[in-house]
Structure 1
């Protein structure tokens, strides 16, 4: 390109500005340094200078940063890359707030003297410099610098062209800053400034590529009971606590470690480099200790514990979703263990999680598909073998896993709000089958026992639903006994008392199941309309060999006698347990020694017989 000094025409300067504008028009954050360097080379040639540079100001740290230069230099580290204004020479110092071009040139000397200096090689000491500011409103955001090893005079036309070109560079800078800000917002959490899920996934994708160093460890952190802070002090306080938590994570981790907030009170840390399970677990313990320190919020001094899950991934074998799923399973295991725990992922956790997911997936339509069935556990008078009652127990015929017991799916049903629907199905089905048995002339004086879930007990309209079901199948209320666990009774004693009173008006019996596992219900027992206590099987299994169990069972027997309550022992599996119960006045029992849970048809056959032979001299197995 012909330089302005050679032509001296306004047209050439205008063409130069247009050419620069064309090149800078499509520049983005990624291409800005390279294109800027190319443009600086053209400017150096066009204006006849030896060095050109582009610098951006960082007013937050009062410094100027080198973005591009011509000719390019390979300096590592480059001492001129970051210059603080407080330590800068006059040329750079002037660039902090300049609004107009700033020039530095040597004092004029005769031409023959200048030529002599050039011939001696010292002409570079006579250096002319110019700094043209980049402006954004009233803020000086950077500068374009020009250096001539010799004397350089700038014409008014050249200065106008420099201002126009500086304006173009300022527009590029604003665009780059906006892109950087958008990228930052897209990759960082707005509350804490930590990386967000998107940035974490991208980082793990890179770390797990084939050929990368491994293993790659992940720590999944979950604050315990943050909701208590939100409920007590408000969500603003909860946010403040999360910010303090994030700052402590920064302080306790290394520069290369990636910290991300997934949302709420969940955080993930990916240590830099290859970290094995022991080292990752040690880091988790260190973080637990640091995060336990108290935080002052609005005059309140608070602390929360943290649960942590640790998982490892192998580059080229594991995916990001695999690794995060394992870490999530591990932290759930820590939370389920009571919180404030650290769990390292194992294959066993994966199997449990796979099983639960399978259960949840198929459980949604279990009633519609007719996969539920009832088995019945007979209740026997151990003195005569007479069948006095039967307990309805739900079973699920899983499509691939076979017949599943309630422990396999009831907790899942509760977590997906299906427990109430399951409970209603059990009650209707049990009442329907029991009604059919009685209509056929059997089980006339027997009782059908039906378990009631906590969800059912507090549900609106539960009492009326029970009344309608009993009426629909023509049952005498006294032949129906609803069983609630002792723990449910004490969760909300007032609601329980009201519900049980309503059930007694309907005419059904009430039993407290698993009795003896807690003592808080004793203070309320007299005021509750209860008919039966069922001794928890944990106290019965080793009865006859365990004196502590015997002491508790004797106390429960005495309590039942004092309140004139019917008493049933659960879990009778050994003849010694049966004999001990009989010796101390407990006659009613159920358990594998007497009968295992059996299908509906088999239960009807037992009722038709009326008795189960009892001989406690040898174990009975049905």
Structure 2
């Protein structure tokens, strides 16, 4: 560690001049070294006491403890602490009683620092070197050679060794506390809690009760205010009533003086009965901690305290940083409201405390907010969001938790008495005035009764609210939807399907089948339509009307559609190579695919990678839903496709967005009548006339007409009479894999 990072310490200067009115604490007396004599010969005890009488070693007196057997000696060690040296006889109750006691001291009582000096009556009784190593004996002497001088020298060496080991051990424990404190402080919630932790850790380090400590910090000042004004940010024991007060309000002048001195001189101060530690912070946000002891403080390890101060000062800087990060993580920067993360945390806390009974989570989404931004600008939109947040706060903040969870979406958590449509809807009846513009708003709402759904976590509750919001938005503006288990089950099923579809795509469980398209006049097979199929892991087939909408909503349809296009062109090349060169391939393209900016690039690449297939043998089928992309853009894209000699067909005509103006704008080559109208052709039910009208309409617009879902000869005859050009359906062939299709084609009779 760099010495520049350490906090300097000063011993408190002795008072100058007359003695102060308050008594000065006396210089603390250092505790004596404790020596335990274990010997069954009382004369040895007396002679040792006489030899050591009046001696001091390393500046301390000696205190002798006596035991007359190994059993008594172990009892003494169990009751007494801080025994520096043991003068131990080898032979007592038994020949090896002394050695057995050493084993109990080291392995049973775990006293590793205490020094052990064996004393033997006869030279021949001295232990072997291996015994000394095995039992961790520090020295051995014969009783006859331990004269007063030699005994003093032996004890001095042992005590110095004990003192060094004890200091090292204390430093190790102190450093462990510092490391533990660092980990603890990282998780603290704010500066006050952090400062309270400093008090606890500092008291633990000094071996004191966490009382009588005061932490002071530089008080925030205005530009004209004088520096040096400090405030109490944490206190314990008799000073706890001073929290948030200036340190000048402390009624003990000595504490005020030491805190002020430490903070102004930016250094730690060591007194006789007190210790004031200084902690340097960033941007002059320093603080100091004062600890008073009822008795004189034991010897202070300055280096250990310097490490403690440096480490805790760094922790304080981290606490400030974490406060900023926490603010960024949990507060919406635009409105100052809690954000999505804060809402989830709030719901988690309510759930863990069993406080969700009768609580409701509501989401409020502003309708057509994007259009407002486009019309008035984003600054106006931000001000409008601010006005909404202000109104919600003014009306509900005392009773509810309010958050902004997305761009134009707010969330409210509270008792059902306050969080319900009858209470929330009226909040949007009055227009919002922003930049002197009155703006009336329509909002969709979704609500979750928290006690009606199993609580997993806040994220799941918010997810339930989002599921209900999707249903509300799908119903139009100003809609309200409560979450129900059935709604959740439907959403989970779609999610399950999506995950399964991803796995199927990755593991080649999707495949194409082809349904022939024939001429109603000659019966010739003119082309085939590529249809996507999914075989689930258990071998069952998943219907396209279940998984295609899921793929479209998730965006997976883009990758799926590219794969279908490339696979269909490759298979068409194989059909041409088998002698069916006049066949065309119809491939469905969803509105999501068609709206992709790189759609034409994908088409060009697929054509380049299949040079055996002429572009005019490819036909792209689009549904009327592409009108949502924008009529002008769709028409322009269709013309680009046709410029590549690729044909375009309008699929499922008669449903969705059908209109004559729509049909007249799109330069399509073929019109496909939806199977729902074909089923009505040979009936008198409503809708039968529509199918009869579509055929001449398509011809009038210059398009070929193909009927889907033809299943009976009666339907085929009616379509022929109407002049319909082509048909596909079970009347001619079911969809089939490529190999089956090849066999089927080879079995067809030749056509003129």
- In the superposition, the TM-score normalised over structure 1's length comes to 0.64
2:449 aligned with 1:312: yes
Specify whether residues 70 and 551 from structure 1 end up closer, same or farther in structure 2 by C-alpha distance, changes over 3 A only.
same
* Kept in 2: contact 1:485–1:514 (CA 8 A): yes
Q: Which of 226, 229, 232 is matched with 2:372 structurally? A: 229
Q: Which of 444, 460, 468 is matched with 2:608 structurally? A: 468
Question: What displacement does 1:373 show?
Answer: 0.8
1:197 match: 340
1:348 match: 486
Question: What displacement does 1:426 show?
Answer: 1.6
Question: What displacement does 1:439 show?
Answer: 2.7
* Kept in 2: contact 1:371–1:398 (CA 8 A): yes
1:323 match: 461
How many angstroms apart in 1 are the aligned matches of 2:574 and 2:259? 100
How many angstroms apart in 2 are the aligned matches of 1:507 and 1:159? 92
Specify whether residues 594 and 164 from structure 1 end up closer, same or farther in structure 2 by C-alpha distance, changes over 3 A only.
same
Matches within 5 A, 1:10-49: 29-30=192-193
Question: What displacement does 1:534 show?
Answer: 0.7
2:516 match: 378
2:45 match: none
2:436 aligned with 1:424: no
Q: Structure 1, residues 180-212: CA drift from partner, whole Å, max 9, x if none?
A: 986766643333232233432332223223654
Q: Secondary structure at the match of 1:396?
A: strand
Matches within 5 A, 1:551-570: 551-570=689-708
2:670 aligned with 1:532: yes
Specify whether residues 160 and 590 from structure 1 end up closer, same or farther in structure 2 by C-alpha distance, changes over 3 A only.
same
Matches within 5 A, 1:386-465: 387-399=525-537, 402-414=540-552, 417-441=555-579, 443-454=580-591, 455-456=593-594, 459-462=599-602, 464-465=604-605
Question: What displacement does 1:268 show?
Answer: 2.1
* Kept in 2: contact 1:285–1:342 (CA 8 A): no
Question: What displacement does 1:498 show?
Answer: 4.1
How many angstroms apart in 2 are the aligned matches of 1:316 and 1:412? 26
Q: Secondary structure at the match of 1:375?
A: strand
Q: Secondary structure at the match of 2:192?
A: coil
Matches within 5 A, 1:56-75: none
Question: What displacement does 1:241 show?
Answer: 1.6
1:542 match: 680
Aligned length: 502
* Kept in 1: contact 2:212–2:239 (CA 8 A): no
Question: What displacement does 1:492 show?
Answer: 3.9
Question: What displacement does 1:574 show?
Answer: 6.8
1:9 match: 21
How many angstroms apart in 2 are the aligned matches of 1:232 and 1:207? 41
* Kept in 2: contact 1:218–1:327 (CA 8 A): yes
Specify whether residues 226 and 12 from structure 1 end up closer, same or farther in structure 2 by C-alpha distance, changes over 3 A only.
farther
Specify whether residues 171 and 496 from structure 1 end up closer, same or farther in structure 2 by C-alpha distance, changes over 3 A only.
closer
* Kept in 1: contact 2:519–2:726 (CA 8 A): yes
Which has the higher relative contact order, 1 or 2, with Cα contacts under 8 A spaced 6 or more apart? 1
Q: Secondary structure at the match of 2:352?
A: coil
* Kept in 1: contact 2:383–2:434 (CA 8 A): yes
Matches within 5 A, 1:33-432: 134=246, 144=249, 187-209=330-352, 212=355, 214-253=357-396, 255-272=398-415, 275=416, 283-291=420-428, 293-314=430-451, 318-361=456-499, 363-364=501-502, 369-381=507-519, 387-399=525-537, 402-414=540-552, 417-432=555-570
* Kept in 2: contact 1:535–1:570 (CA 8 A): yes
Q: Which has the larger radius of gyration?
A: 2
Specify whether residues 239 and 179 from structure 1 end up closer, same or farther in structure 2 by C-alpha distance, changes over 3 A only.
same
Q: Secondary structure at the match of 2:530?
A: strand
Structure 2 residue runs without a partner (length 5+): 1-18, 26-184, 200-210, 214-218, 223-233, 265-275, 277-284, 289-315
Structure 1 residue runs without a partner (length 5+): 1-6, 14-25, 36-40, 44-55, 60-66, 75-132, 135-141, 147-153, 612-622
Question: What displacement does 1:70 show?
Answer: 11
* Kept in 2: contact 1:541–1:574 (CA 8 A): no
* Kept in 1: contact 2:191–2:320 (CA 8 A): no
1:62 match: none
* Kept in 1: contact 2:373–2:381 (CA 8 A): yes
Q: Structure 1, residues 111-150: CA drift from partner, whole Å, max 9, x if none?
A: xxxxxxxxxxxxxxxxxxxxxx84xxxxxxx98498xxxx
Matches within 5 A, 1:478-497: 479-488=617-626, 491-497=629-635
* Kept in 2: contact 1:435–1:474 (CA 8 A): yes
Please, which moves more after superposition, 301-310 or 519-528? 519-528
Please, which moves more after superposition, 362-371 or 241-250? 362-371
2:67 match: none
CA RMSD of aligned residues (A): 5.2
How many angstroms apart in 2 are the aligned matches of 1:371 and 1:220? 39
Question: What displacement does 1:307 show?
Answer: 2.5
Q: Which of 743, 746, 749 is matched with 1:605 structurally? A: 743
How many angstroms apart in 2 are the aligned matches of 1:337 and 1:581? 38
Specify whether residues 179 and 571 from structure 1 end up closer, same or farther in structure 2 by C-alpha distance, changes over 3 A only.
same
* Kept in 2: contact 1:226–1:304 (CA 8 A): no
Question: What displacement does 1:560 show?
Answer: 1.9
* Kept in 2: contact 1:463–1:502 (CA 8 A): no
- In the superposition, the TM-score normalised over structure 2's length comes to 0.54
